[in-house]
Amino acid sequence: MNQTSPSSQPTPDSSRKMLQALKQMRGKLEALTQAQTEPIAIIGLGCRFPGGAKDSATYWHLLEQGIDAISEVPGDRWNLEEYYDPEGGKPGKTYTKEGGFIENVDRFDPHFFRISPRDAVGLDPQQRILLEVTWESLENAGVTLEHLRHSQTGVYMGICTDDYASLRIQYQEQGGTDESSGLGMGRSIGVGRISHFLGLQGPNIQLDTACSTSLVAIHLACQSLRSRESNLALAGGVNLILSPTSTIGRCQLNMLSRDGR
């Protein structure tokens, strides 16, 4: 025969507390599950694309009209005839003469972003564009600098090429790099500059996963929002073709289409 002492039997009060604890645990579990699938709103957008698409409106027009944004390598990038050979497979040569190129990448207002003209020269144009487009996306969203400062806003940006760095090394008058150009070409520093300029306190991550870089940046931003690590997130990527070096390398591997598309 089993015997149960009075002290081991549940009392109405203990049962009530246990039920309350179970309800709290269930509520937390439901909240966690809901957070993993909670919709995320895109509240602002800024962009630069080939074909003269300098904002979301012109980009949408380009898509709507089916405009071909691919063009021949601009003369201010490199001497096409010096590096082009249609046969392909030749060292130091490209077998394509077309691609997607953004206009006016040399135009930048350093004072607006509190950058000295000297430092701006050493700043990779990819970093300049990230600063500009980030600001434009915030304007598009109607988010003010005062609202962002000291906020838990995360920054997730993809940069996967270093054409400007190779140009600086190639053409710098005395060789090497000075302090300003070294900082201006660091990928992680370029993304960190966004958080510094805006006064953000959320995560700041620069990543490179090749062709998927921008998509992965958005994926990580969504994870950060759903885990409540960030209250707001800035996500995107940039890629400028400034030097023939990367194009030559890809042509050696037969990675590119001959018509640039």
What is the sign of the dihedral through the CA atoms of 38, 39, 42 and 48?
positive
Residue 207 lies in a domain: yes
For residues 192-205, give the mean pLDDT.
96
- In this prediction, residue 177 carries a pLDDT of 58
Residue 42 lies in a domain: no
Residue 248 lies in a domain: yes
How far, in Å, CA of 246 to CA of 94, rounded? 10
How far, in Å, CA of 71 to CA of 232, rounded? 37
Average pLDDT, the chain: 88
Angle (nearest 5°) at CA 196 between 205 and 109: 110
pTM, full prediction: 0.82
Q: pLDDT (tens digit, 9 = 90+) per residue, 61-84? A: 999 999 999 999 999 999 999 999
What CATH number does residue 242 fall under?
3.40.47.10
Sheet architecture: strand order including 232-238: 204-207, 153-159, 232-238
- In this prediction, residue 4 carries a pLDDT of 52
Domains held by the chain: number: 1
- In this prediction, residue 179 carries a pLDDT of 59
Residue 11 lies in a domain: no
Residue 141 lies in a domain: yes
Residue 60 lies in a domain: no
Do residues 95 and 251 touch, judged by C-beta distance below 8 A? yes
Where residue 174 falls among pLDDT bands split at 50, 70, 90?
low
- In this prediction, residue 17 carries a pLDDT of 79
In this predicted structure, the answer to whether residue 124 has a pLDDT above a threshold of 90 is yes
- In this prediction, residue 26 carries a pLDDT of 79
Where residue 93 falls among pLDDT bands split at 50, 70, 90?
very high
Q: What are phi and psi of 79, to 5 degrees?
A: -75, 105
Residue 257 lies in a domain: no
Show the domain range for 103: 70-252
For residues 116-140, give the mean pLDDT.
93
Q: pLDDT (tens digit, 9 = 90+) per residue, 211-223? A: 999 999 999 999 9
Q: Give 18-80 as a DSSP string.
A: HHHHHHHHHHHHHHHHHHHH-----------BTTTB-SHHHHHHHHHHT----EEPPTTT--H
Residue 50 lies in a domain: no
Where residue 239 falls among pLDDT bands split at 50, 70, 90?
very high
